[in-house]
Amino acid sequence: MYTTYKLPFLLKNSSYHVLKTKRYSTINLINMATIIDGKNIAKTIRDQIREDIIQFKKKYSGFKPHLSIIQVGSREDSAVYVRQKERACKEAGIEFSLQKKDEFITEQELIKSIRDLNDDLSTHGLLVQLPLPKHINESRVTENIDPKKDVDGFHPNNIGNLSKRNSDTLFLPCTPKGILELLKQIGIEISGKRAVVVGRSDIVGFPVFTLLSRNDATVTLCHSKTRNLPEIIKTADILVVAIGKAEYVKGDWIKPGAIVIDVGTNSIEDSTKKSGIRWVGDVEFSTASKVASHITPVPGGVGPMTVAMLLQNTVESAKRFLKENIERKVSPLHLKRLDPVPSDIDIAMSQTPKSIKLLAQELGLALNEYELYGNTKAKVNFPVLERLKSRKNGKCIVVTGITPTPLGEGKSTTVIGITQALGSHLNKRVFACVRQPSQGPTFGIKGGAAGGGYSQVIPMDEFNLHLTGDIHAVTAANNLLAAAIDARIFHENTQTDTALFNRLCPSIKGVRNFSPVMLKRLKKFGIDKNNPEDLTSEEINKFVRLDINPNSITWNRVIDTNDRFLRRITIGQNETEKGQTRQTGFDISVASECMAVLALSTSLADMRERLGRMVVATNKGGNELITADDLGVGGALTVLMKDSIRPNLMQTLEGNPVFVHAGPFANIAHGNSSILADKIALKLVGSECDEKGNLIGEEGYVVTEAGFGADIGMEKFFNIKCRTSELVPDAVVLVATVRALKMHGGGPSVMPGKPLHETYLKENLELLEKGCDNLVKHIENARKYGLPVVVAINQFTTDTEAELSLIRKISTEAGAIDAVPATHWALGGAGAIELGKAIIKATNEKQEFKFLYDIEKSIVEKIEIIAKEMYGADGIELSELAKDKVKLYTQQGFTNLPICMAKTHLSLSHNPNLKGVPKGFIVPVRDIKASIGAGFLYPLLGEMQTMPGLPTRPCFFDVDLDPETGRVYGLF
């Protein structure tokens, strides 16, 4: 097929015809060179790009290649080039955005804009239109573009890799790439040819020289200072000219039959043109076209190819980002295991963590989606949820346990072991979510909670100590509220209504104003007034008088230390408090409702609302609940905790990602890590979907821990956390140990700090079988929620094959998918591979998740359901105080809140001395308290110590520091 083209740069009477070369039409002038029509070739390439994008979108609905350009100043030539690129993008189906900057922008301002686009994961290609104003260093600007988005190919990394023989560059510079594409499309064999490149710029000359060399041409690089340039040019089979001088190369310099690629674009005066100029190349076309076999015209030759290659690079970049986004490979760390297993801190200190920035990048996080706290910790910004909202969640695995001994069953260790097995050995995307430990038990009797042996979170010392200060923020917020309560009582007792009003709403330059939190209190009483001057004396009284009943205050101060002597204190003893003393006490920081709020908040706005509605007391009339917002402090609490709401990113010993976030008590609170940590983790390991909703790639897994036994942490995870988060778990892992099951079978008591009785060190199948009743009850409890169960047997060296087989037999008969021994403490992830496989199988089982109770049932009914179904009780018995609380909360409209039972973790019952599966008992409910901010009621089934005490020999005896190296030792 022949096509005729008008060539404005030819003489009017020139005759020409078209020859078909390969797939593209080229124009062959009689007695002249074949013209390489870059415009037509570029159009075909752009059409191919458009079709490629259409086909890709059919498989990946979220595939949207995006080119961003920054243009500085108002140069007309730059504006023309930008418009050409914008038009080409739109024709090809590539999203385009342009940022126009004032020509006087500072270099730092420009670089900040570049870095913002670097962080924008929706931008795949980024370029700054050159040239730039003289006050801006182009090299520094180019160096700040992310090499992975440098679709112009000008970044030193890309140029540098281009020059290395055995290195691949992410992007080839567009013009040199377009030149090679032209040669390819007209069927020119480059290998073995002699090529000459005239011009040595970083943009064209040098990259073309390198690309031709890589394609096995013998290349000479020349420039305007090269001696005997015409003679050298005469040797060229392929001539590329990019010297920037109009019609510099003459026809008699060119070897007959050579291929000439003219990159130059120069304007010269021409009175015959309406514009007064015409465009010519660096080669004198009129003479060169009579000698060469092929030649590119100006315009219409290399220029259109440059734009086409820019689009091609952008699409390649988008595909690369998509591939990385789908795969999200996390590189494992190698474990150097020792036998016998060293102490936890020695193991942790012997491993070199990967940079947390690298881990964040492996997870697919943009720089603006996390904030580094040193080299091993980072906070992740929860707006990442909005970016990933279309991604399907990974699978959620809840790790809980049987009723533990005081030594614990190793749930945290098992969580990390499973994570390491799935990620480092089974090549699955996986995330662990664990609570942040309190410093109370760390320095008290329990020790740290980073896992143990070769299944730990690292750095272990930072994990167990201050981390990023979240617990300190909770402490500060809690104590600010405590101070506000007593200060308000003091001021109300010592001032008139008028004095209080004048101080709460002071006149500043003759104007009074309500703060926003004050308007909330007015609204509470139905007072719809915004001007303090409009309040009546009765309304002022309601506004300023909280009239707190000191005996009703439920809000204690907190400290993150086990200090038994703060459990009950007297405050206000200084004479400045005018005799206003009262008894109060301290809780440990993680027992604060602020911590429970942190764990259950779904956003910053949600946390602000929850903190504000926390109830701290009632008024003296008993008809009004006093909240943090009534005290005017809700906003300040949120400010103190604004950073703590962001989950903390750390890693396992084998380099797998871990979120360490929130640490609410598992008895008076719900004992689970944060909703936001789970939600973000589920998205980060989740899968992209095609337009039909089919998964692209394998699903990932989130392994999240529930505190204490399944009767406490798991029950609260499902009935409280899942209601708030709307997350649906996929499987339950129930951790058990032979020694704990023997204890439930009637074995001797187990106490921290005391050697294990020999019963636990020798095989005893009879005792074990009897104790497995506790395991069976927990399996049955988990199955009531419609979920598959895997029993993880945390194996010790003293466990026998017969004991392990017995546990497996009893577990599977009780309805578990499997019961798998795991040696992750001694072997790391390698010791939990079979457990990991069993969990994967379980998550593929049919599950019909359901709650234990209808949230609309009465308070008493919900308590009774939990006691009977989870604990095996015959019923419940409410004290008179508990009955009064039921009546009060019903009147206040709190009947539709979930129940958070506060009971011992050492028994299925309320009595810690009743082991195994107690029968025939009634659960006494001595009191019911309200965590309105957290969003639950918590019945007290016994005396709950919210401030632990220190033992005779606390863990802090072993903790110390090497003053020369700064290394911590002695943490367990």
- State the catalytic residues: 85
Residue 239 is encoded by which pair of tokens? 């001539």
Q: Bridge partners of 652?
A: 457
DSSP code, position 706: B
- Determine contact, residues 480/637, Cβ cutoff 8 Å: yes
Task: Give the H or E element holding residue 290.
Answer: none
Neighbouring residues of 2: CB distance < 8 A, sequence distance ≥ 6: 17, 18, 20, 25
- Determine contact, residues 190/167, Cβ cutoff 8 Å: no
Distances (CA, A) of 543 to 329, 502, 521, 636, 666: 58, 12, 7, 20, 37
Distances (CA, A) of 516 to 399, 497, 531: 43, 21, 12
**Amino acid, single-letter form, for residue 177:** K
The side-by-side arrangement of strands in the sheet containing 218-222 is: 16-21, 24-29, 34-35, 294-295, 259-262, 238-241, 194-198, 218-222
C-alpha count within 13 angstroms, C-beta hemisphere, residue 646: 21
Kindly calculate the radius of gyration of the chain based on its CA atoms and give it in whole angstroms: 36
DSSP code, position 31: T
Angle between helices 38-59 and 302-327 (to 10 degrees): 20
CA distance 470 to 303: 57
Residue 485 is encoded by which pair of tokens? 């309560």
**Amino acid, single-letter form, for residue 486:** D
- Determine contact, residues 47/55, Cβ cutoff 8 Å: no
**Amino acid, single-letter form, for residue 935:** G
Neighbouring residues of 313: CB distance < 8 A, sequence distance ≥ 6: 125, 151, 152, 153, 171, 172, 174, 177
Q: Three-state DSSP class for 579?
A: coil
- Determine contact, residues 759/784, Cβ cutoff 8 Å: no
Neighbouring residues of 810: CB distance < 8 A, sequence distance ≥ 6: 769, 772, 775, 776, 819
Angle between helices 302-327 and 76-92 (to 10 degrees): 60
Q: In terms of Cα–Cα distance, which of 959, 946, 944 is closest to 559?
A: 946
Distances (CA, A) of 481 to 5, 611, 630, 646: 81, 10, 11, 22
Q: Three-state DSSP class for 367?
A: helix
Phi-psi region of 655 (alpha: psi -120 to 50; beta: other; left: phi over 0): left
Label each residue of 752-774 as H, E or C. Answer: CCCCCCHHHHCCCHHHHHHHHHH
Q: In terms of Cα–Cα distance, which of 130, 57, 125 is closest to 96?
A: 125
CA 73 from chain centre, in angstroms, equals 38
Residue in this structure with the two tokens 């990620």, named with its chain if needed: 423
Q: Three-state DSSP class for 119?
A: helix
Q: Three-state DSSP class for 289?
A: coil
CA distance 937 to 858: 12
CA distance 303 to 283: 15
Question: CA 139, 141, 147, 152: dihedral to nearest 10 degrees?
Answer: -80
Strand-pair category, 922-925 with 875-878: parallel
Q: Three-state DSSP class for 122?
A: coil
